[in-house]
A and B are shown apart, each in its own frame.
Chain A
Amino acid sequence: MYQYDSYDQAMVDTRVEEFRDQTRRRLEGKLSEDQFKPLRLMNGLYLQLHAYMLRVAIPYGTLDSRQMHALADIADKYDRGYGHFTTRQNIQYNWIKLEDAPDILADLAKVEMHAIQTSGNCIRNISSDHFAGAAADEVADPRPYAELLRQWSSFHPEFSYLPRKFKIAVIASDSDRAAMKLHDIGIQIVRNDAGELGAAFFVGGGMGRTPMIAPCIRDFVPLDQLVTYAEACLRVYNRHGRRDNKYKARIKILVHEMGAEEYARQVEEEFAHLLEQGIEPPLAELERIRPYFADPEFETGLPSELDRSDPEFALWADSNTHPHKTPGYVSAIISLKPVGGIPGDASARQMHLMAELAKQYSFDELRVMHTQNIVLPHVRIADLHALWSQLEAAGLGAPNLDTIEDIIACPGLDYCSLANARSIPIAQRISERFAAKGRTRELGELKLKISGCINACGHHHAGHIGILGVDKKGVENYQLLLGGSEAQDTSLAKITGPGFDEAGIVDAVETATEVYLSNRTEGERFLDTYRRIGMEPFKEALYG
C-alpha cells in the first residue's frame, strides 16, 4: 500500500488548516454560501436533505486496517454509528455537523486519508480495479498509475473550476471491473507489441441523464507521457466544455458534439505543445511509487482444495471468492448486501471487524468495490472457513455476490436533495422477495442497479436490470430498464415502457426474471438471454 512521505503528509495537513480557515470565515459571514459551496464540495461536504454529508476519499479503493478502524471511529464519534460505501469506492457519512468537519479531516489526516476533491467541479478521487494486484489477468497493478495521477490531480491549479465534475478510472486488464468506459477518462494499462507498458485512453463516457460509452481516443500513451497526455485531455475540456448548461457540461457532451476524432486531434495538438513544457514527472517517480504496491510475502506450497463439508460455507465460498494469481489464495468478498438491508451500509462495529479480519487474514489490506462491497484481496484458502464463520456471526456472510440481491442503490430520497424517488426501500423489497422465494441462486449472475433520479448515481443504465425512480405528478414512479453492462462488454440499458409504482416495480422485476428463466439456454446469464431474444418477449410479459 502507498504510504505518505513528509511531502504528502504536509499537503493533507495544509488542506486541513485551509478548510478550518474557510469554515471559520463561513461561520463569521465573510464567505457567502455561494462562495463557500465549491470550497466545501472540494472537501467532500454536501448539504443533503437532513444534514451535511461528508464523502471521504479511498484512493483506488485500497485501505489498511488502521484506516478502516479510523473510518469506524469517525462513524461513532461524529455520525450515527455507520457509514455508506459508494460506487466510486469511497465512504460517506450522512449526519455530519459543519463545525465538526475540520476535526474529522484532521482525524483522517492522522491515518493518511482525506476528503480532497471527492465532490465539486474538479478531478475526483481516482478509482480502480478492486482486485488490483490479486487478479491473474492483469498486465500490471494499475494502482501505481492511479497514485501518480492522484498526486497530479490533487490541488491542480488549472483544473479546479472545470465545467463539471471529472471522474477517472484506471484498470490494467481486459476484464473491466471498474466500469472504466463509463468514466470521463477511462485508462487501461496495456502492453504493446514491443512488450512495453503504456496507457489506452478512453474519453467521454459517463452515466447521468445522457449516458455515453467512452470512445478510445489513443490506444497507447507511453508511461513517461501519462501525466502530460492527461493534462492535454483536461485542458481541451476546460477551455471548450460547455458552461452554458450544467446538464450538458460533462466532457461526454463535448466529445459527442465535437466528435471523438476532432477531440482527439485537439488533444494531440495540446499534447505536442505540453510535451515541450516539461511537466511530466520522471519515470523515477513511478519507480518510487511502484514498490509500495509490491506483492506481500505469499506463502508457497499452500493447499488449494476447499473443505466443502459445511454446505453453507461452501455456498458462500463458491459465490463470494475470486481466483487469485497465487496458488493457495483467493480474494474474498464481504457482502454489504444482507437481505432486506441498505446496500453499502456498514456499522462501526462491522467496520472494526472487517479491519481486524484484514489484519488477520489478508496482509492488512482491504478494498472497496464499486458495487458497494468489501474485498479482502489475499486470503489463504485454508483460512476461508474461519473467516466466513466470523463474517457470518456479524451479519456479513451473505453469499450473494453478483446475484439479484447484490444491488447497487443510490441513497435516493431518503437522504439526497436531488432525488425524485426512494431507492433503498426498493432494493430492500427486491432482495427480500427473491430471497424468500429461494430464486436468487437459480438466477445466477444478475446485476440490478437502482437510481432515485436521472443523475444515475445508482448506475441504472449499466444494470442487467436497471431501475430509475422518477416523480410522476408528485408520486414516486419506477421505470424498468434491461440490458446494461458496466463490464468489458459495456452496454446501456433500454427502458421497457411505462413505469410502475412501488409495489409494481418489484413484481415487474420478478416478471422479467421469469421471462429469462423460461427462455434461457444452457449457461446463459440474464444479460445473454436478453441480448439474444431482445426486448419484445419482456415487453409482452410486462405489458401484454
Chain B
Amino acid sequence: MADTPGTVLGTSPDEVQFRFRDDDVVDHGTVTVDSFVDQSNATAVRIEPGDDARELLPHLDRIALVEVNFPVFGDGRGYSAARILREAGYEGELRAVGEVLIDQLAYMRRCGFDAFAPDTPLDMADAEAAFARWGNVYQHAADGAEPIWQLRHG
C-alpha cells in the first residue's frame, strides 16, 4: 500500500500535536520520495530513513510540506535529512512523524523540525518542559540558536 507509486500517505492536520509556524497547517497527503521526483505537481513528500533527502533539493521551490518518518526512535537518519533540507534553504513545514517521543523533541527542533505529529500523543506538560529545557547549545545547527562559542566571542 504505502509503496504503491502515487499513494497518498501522511498525517492529517489534526494529528499535528505541536507546530512552531504561523502559516496554516499543510493539509494534503504526502507521497514517497520516488513518487515525488516523478510527479511534477506534488507539493508534499514523506522521507523514510533510507531515503536520500538530497534528491529533493532540485524541487524545493514546489514543496510545502516534508514529513520525516521515524519508524523507530533510535534510527537517527531523519535528523540528518532535516538539517540537509534546512541547509539547502528549505523553509516549508518540516514535520516529524512516527515514533516521536518527549526526549527527542529538543534535538529535532535543533535540526529544523517545526511540526510534530507523534504516533502516540505526548503529555503536554512534559513536552513543553522538553522544548523549553535547553537555554544554550554547544553547536550550530538548523534552528538559528547561537552556539555558546558565539556568545563567548560575539
Contact = CB atoms under 8 A, between A and B. Distances in A.
Contacts of A160: 76, 79, 107
Interface string B96-119: 000001111011101100000000
B153 A157 contact: no
B148 A7 contact: yes
Contact of A30 (B74, B126, B140, B149): B126
Interface stretch (A16-24, A199-207, A527-535): A16-24
Contacts of B149: 151, 281-282, 285
Interface residues of A, number: 41
Contacts of B110: 157-158
B101 A152 contact: no
Nearest to A18: B133
Contact of A7 (B77, B87, B101, B136): B136
Interface string B52-93: 100000000000000000000111110110010001000000
B136 A11 contact: yes
Contact of B141 (A30, A121, A158): A158
A22 B106 CA distance: 14
B139 A156 contact: yes
A155 B74 contact: no
B132 to A, nearest CB: 11
B103 to A, nearest CB: 5
Interface stretch (A124-132, A272-280, A443-451, A514-522): A272-280
Contacts of A238: 76-77, 79-80
Contact of A10 (B80, B106, B136): B136
A235 interface: yes
Given A159-B76, A161-B76, A284-B153, A152 B107 contact: no
A10 B79 contact: no
A57 interface: no
A161 B73 contact: yes
A14 B147 CA distance: 16
Given A17-B133, A282-B149, A284-B153, A151 B74 contact: no
A278 B76 contact: no
A25 interface: yes
A288 interface: yes
B134 interface: yes
A21 B126 CA distance: 9
A479 to B, nearest CB: 33
B23 interface: no
Contacts of B14: none
A10 B134 CA distance: 9
Nearest to B87: A277
Given A21-B129, A22-B103, A121-B74, A14 B140 contact: no
Nearest to B49: A243
Interface of B: 49, 52, 73-77, 79-80, 83, 87, 101-104, 106-108, 110-111, 123, 126, 129, 133-141, 147-149, 151-153
Interface of A: 5, 7-8, 10-11, 14, 17-18, 21-22, 25, 30-31, 35, 38-39, 121, 151-152, 154-162, 235, 238-239, 243, 273, 277-279, 281-282, 284-285, 288
